[in-house]
Structure 1
Amino acid sequence: MTLYRSTRILLASAALTAFTGPAFALDGQDLLKKINAAFATGGTTITADAIEVSGSDVLLKGVKFGVDGQPAEKPLALEQLTLEGVSEEEGGAYFIERVEFPEVNVTEEKSSFKVQDLYLAGVYVPGDANAEGIDSLMFYEEAHSGPVEVTVDGKPVFSMAEAVGTMGLSDDESTITFEGSVTGVKADLSTVEDPQAKAQIEALGLTTLDGNMNMSGSWEVESGTIDIEDYSIDFANVGKLSLAFSMSGYTLDLVKQMQEQARMMQAQPQNEQAQQAAGLAMLGLVQQLSLVDAQIRFEDAGITKRGLDYAGKSQGTDGAQMAQMVKGMLPILLAQAKLGAIQNEISAAVNTYIDDPKALTIAAAPANPVAFPMIMGAAMGAPETIPGLIGLKVTAND
Structure 2
Amino acid sequence: MSYPRLRPHAYLCAGLMAVFVPHVALAADADEVAARLKALMEKQGMEASWSGIAGDGSRMTMEGVTVKPAGEDEAVALGDIELSDIREDGDTIIVGTLAMPSYTFSNEGVNVAIDGISVTGLELAADGDDSVAALVGYYESADMDFLRVTREGRSLFTLEQLHVEMSPLSDDAPLEFSGAAEKFTADLTTIEDAQTKAVIQALGYETINGYLELSGSWSPTDGRMVLDQYDISVDQAGTIGMTFDIGGYTTEFIQALRDIQAKMGETEGQDQSAQGMAMLGLMQQLTLNGATLRFDDDTLTQKALEFVAAQQGAKPAAIVNQAKAILPFAMAQLNNPELTAAVSAAVGKFLDDPQSLEIRVAPETPLPFAMVAAGAMTAPQALPQQLGMKITANE
Short-chain TM bin: 0.7 to 0.9
Give aligned pairs, total.
Answer: 378
Structure-1 residue corresponding to 2:8? none
> Which runs of 5 or more structure 1 residues have no equivalent in the other structure?
17-24
Range with bigger deviation, 261-270 or 146-155: 146-155
Range with bigger deviation, 162-171 or 344-353: 162-171
Question: Per-residue deviation at 1:133?
Answer: 4.0
1:183-211 alpha-carbon deviations (Å, 9 max, x no partner): 12112223445433321211222111110
Contact map agreement 1:248 1:292 (CA 8 A) in 2: yes
Structure-2 residue corresponding to 1:80? 80
Structure-1 residue corresponding to 2:52? 50
* Counterpart Cα distance in 2 of 1:266 and 1:111: 25
* Counterpart Cα distance in 2 of 1:362 and 1:129: 45
Contact map agreement 2:43 2:135 (CA 8 A) in 1: no
| Correspondences of 1:343-362 after superposition (within 5 Å) | 343-362=340-359
Contact map agreement 1:177 1:217 (CA 8 A) in 2: yes
Query: Counterpart amino acid of 1:374?
Result: M
Question: Per-residue deviation at 1:52?
Answer: 2.2
Structure-2 residue corresponding to 1:327? 324
| Correspondences of 1:259-270 after superposition (within 5 Å) | 259-270=258-269
* Counterpart Cα distance in 2 of 1:172 and 1:216: 20
Question: Per-residue deviation at 1:315?
Answer: 5.3
Query: Counterpart amino acid of 1:347?
Result: S
* Counterpart Cα distance in 2 of 1:366 and 1:193: 42
* Counterpart Cα distance in 2 of 1:290 and 1:110: 42
Report the CA distance shift for 1:67/1:349 in structure 2 as closer, same or farther (over 3 A): same
Question: Per-residue deviation at 1:50?
Answer: 0.8
Report the CA distance shift for 1:369/1:55 in structure 2 as closer, same or farther (over 3 A): closer
* Counterpart Cα distance in 1 of 2:279 and 2:308: 40
1:242-285 alpha-carbon deviations (Å, 9 max, x no partner): 111111111110011112212222232211x22x2212211111
Structure-2 residue corresponding to 1:241? 240
* Counterpart Cα distance in 2 of 1:106 and 1:374: 43
Q: TM-score, normalised by structure 2?
A: 0.88
Report the CA distance shift for 1:32/1:170 in structure 2 as closer, same or farther (over 3 A): closer
The residue matched to 1:190 in structure 2 has which SS?
Answer: helix
Question: Per-residue deviation at 1:158?
Answer: 2.4
Report the CA distance shift for 1:130/1:334 in structure 2 as closer, same or farther (over 3 A): farther
* Counterpart Cα distance in 1 of 2:339 and 2:308: 27
Structure-2 residue corresponding to 1:26? 29
Structure-2 residue corresponding to 1:377? 374
* Counterpart Cα distance in 2 of 1:129 and 1:317: 70
Question: Per-residue deviation at 1:137?
Answer: 3.1
The residue matched to 2:175 in structure 1 has which SS?
Answer: strand
Report the CA distance shift for 1:391/1:197 in structure 2 as closer, same or farther (over 3 A): closer
Q: 1:285 aligns with which of 266, 282, 287?
A: 282
* Counterpart Cα distance in 1 of 2:169 and 2:36: 24
Structure-2 residue corresponding to 1:304? 301
Question: Per-residue deviation at 1:42?
Answer: 3.2
* Counterpart Cα distance in 2 of 1:148 and 1:42: 22
Structure-2 residue corresponding to 1:20? none
| Correspondences of 1:1-398 after superposition (within 5 Å) | 3-6=19-22, 9-10=23-24, 12-13=25-26, 26-28=29-31, 30-71=32-73, 74-91=74-91, 93-105=92-104, 112-128=111-127, 131-172=130-171, 174-271=173-270, 273-274=271-272, 276-314=273-311, 317=314, 319-398=316-395
**Coordinate RMSD, CA, aligned:** 2.4
The residue matched to 2:50 in structure 1 has which SS?
Answer: strand
Question: Per-residue deviation at 1:329?
Answer: 2.1
Range with bigger deviation, 375-384 or 126-135: 126-135
Contact map agreement 2:30 2:60 (CA 8 A) in 1: no
Contact map agreement 1:214 1:233 (CA 8 A) in 2: yes
Contact map agreement 2:346 2:392 (CA 8 A) in 1: yes
Structure-2 residue corresponding to 1:19? none
Question: Per-residue deviation at 1:355?
Answer: 1.4
Question: Per-residue deviation at 1:363?
Answer: 0.8
* Counterpart Cα distance in 2 of 1:111 and 1:377: 41
Q: Percent identity?
A: 28
Contact map agreement 1:174 1:221 (CA 8 A) in 2: no
Query: Counterpart amino acid of 1:88?
Result: E
Report the CA distance shift for 1:173/1:48 in structure 2 as closer, same or farther (over 3 A): farther
Question: Per-residue deviation at 1:33?
Answer: 2.6
* Counterpart Cα distance in 2 of 1:193 and 1:381: 39
Query: Counterpart amino acid of 1:46?
Result: A
Question: Per-residue deviation at 1:385?
Answer: 2.4
Range with bigger deviation, 195-204 or 178-187: 195-204
Range with bigger deviation, 146-155 or 108-117: 108-117
1:345-388 alpha-carbon deviations (Å, 9 max, x no partner): 11100111111111001111222211112222222222232232
Structure-1 residue corresponding to 2:15? none
The residue matched to 2:285 in structure 1 has which SS?
Answer: coil
* Counterpart Cα distance in 1 of 2:79 and 2:36: 21
* Counterpart Cα distance in 1 of 2:155 and 2:41: 34
* Counterpart Cα distance in 1 of 2:318 and 2:128: 61
Question: Per-residue deviation at 1:111?
Answer: 5.8
Contact map agreement 1:26 1:53 (CA 8 A) in 2: no
Contact map agreement 1:68 1:263 (CA 8 A) in 2: yes
Question: Per-residue deviation at 1:78?
Answer: 2.2
The residue matched to 2:189 in structure 1 has which SS?
Answer: coil
Contact map agreement 1:219 1:227 (CA 8 A) in 2: yes
The residue matched to 1:70 in structure 2 has which SS?
Answer: coil
Question: Per-residue deviation at 1:116?
Answer: 2.4
Report the CA distance shift for 1:252/1:48 in structure 2 as closer, same or farther (over 3 A): same
Q: Which one has more relative contact order, counting CA pairs under 8 Å at least 6 apart?
A: 2
